[in-house]
Structure formats: structure tokens, C-alpha cells
């Protein structure tokens, strides 16, 4: 069995977002780039499964759409334990464009399970996994919060509004994963970092893809007015304000 994990390269979640070029572009100065948190959890789970599979899972591949600038992020994924990597050599634009690039790169290869994060911490399209499934004409399960392989059967938990379903899924399929799939992301050990340098990272040419959307301009939320602070002894007054002015209770 072969697993593929789609990873994207996003600003660290503590980044203070700023824009440049008349608010048409993200200001990249000082940004720490990391593996998208959901993708990192997906990769962590894939590695756990491989280690406990007794050889049944042959390999974990990661794939990224990005310029050479995203290689440190890909190397980190290899350092965490992925066996090899594919980079589609083009700057990612919008979701459909990225999904199309991924689909074309994946088509000539075979994977049993493809994992993608439910959302990305940058443009929050929450869409590449689902689009990829449609482009590859594959089954997809969204909001997967647990993934297990038992006696050759693939079992997943899927979050639905108000509950959780347990499903058995026939491969190949795409699992769009969310929180819960793994608890803590794996931190690469020194040995992993050394080994990552020599693991195969294949660079493939991009395909001709259209964009369906274009982000024209960005803005930051309006700053909030100053917070009105009450002391412990003035709680009644606050409740009055919440009741009469804010009308929230």
C-alpha cells in the first residue's frame, strides 16, 4: 500500500498578516514558512500507520505545488519520515489551479490513500482535497478525524454536523483530514534531518491550468474600539451594559 500526503507551505500560524503593493500581495518579509498544520497532522498519521503496519505500507510520498522556495518545507516533511517527495515546479495560485497541478502529477502514479488537509492556514479555500478527488474521479471522505488500517481494511471516522460516523472505505480514495487525525505533529529528529538531505525529491514540470478565481485586493479587519474594563466589584454594571446596550443577554 502506498500513501500520498499533499502538503502546502504556509505562514506560521502566529504570523501577523500584512500586505504590500497596494494591498495586492502578502508581505512576505519576516514570515516563517511551515507545513500547513492540517497537512502536518496528516503526514504524522501516515507515518504512524506505516510504522505499525509491519511492512504493509510500502511508502509515504509527499507532494507540493511550489517554487524552489518551498523546498525547506518539503525537506522538513522528509525529515519527519516521508520516504520521497514530488514538487510541481510552479508558484501556487488559487485552489483549482493547485488541485489541477496535483492531479496531473498524480495521474501517472498509483497511490492507495491520498491525504489532504481540510483547510490551509493561508487562503482558507478548504478545497484542494475535494477538487483533487473530482479531477482524479476518486472517492473522497471529508472531515476525517481518525484513520486506521485493520486486517487490510481501511477504517475512518468522519465528522458530520452533530456527530461522528465510522466508515469502511475501499481504496483508492482521498481522505480530507481535520483535527484529531493525529494529536501532536511529529518533530523531526536529528537523524531524520540528516537522512532527509539524501531522500529523493523529484521536480516535475507544471501543466497548463486555468485559474477560476483571482484575489484582487486584501484588507485587514477594522480595528476594534478599546475594551471597556470592569473590576470584579462592578460585574452588575457590566451585566446592565450587556443587557441594555449590547443586547446580548
Q: Does residue 101 bind another protein (CB under 8 A)? A: no
What does the alpha-carbon distance between residue 97 and residue 11 come to, in Å, rounded to a whole number? 20
Positions in 172-211 near another protein (CB under 8 A): 173, 176, 179-180, 183-184, 210-211
Which residue in this structure is represented by grid cell 478527488? Answer: 133
Among positive and negative, which fits the CA dihedral 133, 137, 141, 147?
negative
Q: Does residue 249 bind another protein (CB under 8 A)? A: yes
H-helix or E-strand containing 105? Answer: helix 95-106
Q: Does residue 243 bind another protein (CB under 8 A)? A: yes
Which residue in this structure is represented by grid cell 487490510? Answer: 152
CB of 244 to another protein, least distance (A): 9
Q: Does residue 110 bind another protein (CB under 8 A)? A: no
Positions in 208-237 near another protein (CB under 8 A): 210-221, 224-225, 227-232, 235-236
Nearer to another protein, 161 or 205 (CB): 161
Positions in 116-145 near another protein (CB under 8 A): 118-119, 121-135, 138-143, 145
What does the alpha-carbon distance between residue 57 and residue 3 come to, in Å, rounded to a whole number? 8
Instruction: Report the DSSP beta bridge partners of residue 159.
Output: 164
Positions in 2-31 near another protein (CB under 8 A): 11, 13-14, 16-17, 19
Among 32, 53, 67, 164, the residue binding another protein under the rule CB under 8 A is 164
Beta strands 84-88 and 201-204 are parallel
> What is the DSSP secondary structure assignment for residue 161, as one 8-state letter?
T
Amino acid at each position: 500500500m502506498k500513501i500520498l500526503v499533499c502538503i502546502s507551505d504556509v505562514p506560521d500560524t502566529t504570523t501577523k498578516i500584512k500586505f504590500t503593493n497596494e494591498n495586492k500581495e502578502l508581505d512576505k518579509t519576516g514570515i516563517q514558512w511551515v507545513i500547513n498544520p492540517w497537512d502536518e497532522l496528516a503526514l504524522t498519521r501516515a507515518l504512524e500507520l506505516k510504522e505499525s503496519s509491519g511492512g504493509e505500507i510500502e511508502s509515504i510520498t509527499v507532494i507540493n505545488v511550489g517554487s524552489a522556495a518551498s523546498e525547506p518545507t518539503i525537506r522538513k516533511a522528509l525529515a519527519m519520515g516521508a520516504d520521497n517527495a514530488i514538487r510541481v515546479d510552479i508558484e501556487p495560485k488559487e485552489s483549482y489551479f493547485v488541485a489541477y497541478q496535483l492531479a496531473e502529477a498524480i495521474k501517472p502514479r498509483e497511490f492507495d490513500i491520498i491525504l489532504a488537509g481540510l483547510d490551509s492556514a493561508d487562503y482558507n479555500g478548504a478545497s484542494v482535497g475535494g477538487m483533487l478527488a473530482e479531477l482524479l474521479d476518486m472517492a473522497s471522505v471529508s472531515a476525517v478525524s481518525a484513520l486506521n488500517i485493520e486486517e487490510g481494511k481501511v477504517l475512518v471516522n468522519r465528522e458530520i454536523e452533530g456527530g461522528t460516523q465510522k466508515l469502511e472505505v475501499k481504496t483508492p480514495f482521498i481522505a480530507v483530514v481535520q483535527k484529531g487525525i493525529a494529536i501532536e505533529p511529529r518533530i523531526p529528529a536529528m537523524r531524520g534531518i540528516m537522512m532527509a538531505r539524501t531522500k529523493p525529491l523529484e521536480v516535475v514540470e507544471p501543466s497548463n491550468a486555468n485559474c477560476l478565481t483571482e484575489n484582487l485586493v486584501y484588507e485587514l479587519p477594522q480595528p476594534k474600539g478599546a475594551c471597556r474594563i470592569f473590576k470584579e466589584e462592578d460585574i452588575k454594571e457590566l451585566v446592565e451594559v450587556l443587557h441594555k446596550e449590547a443586547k446580548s443577554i
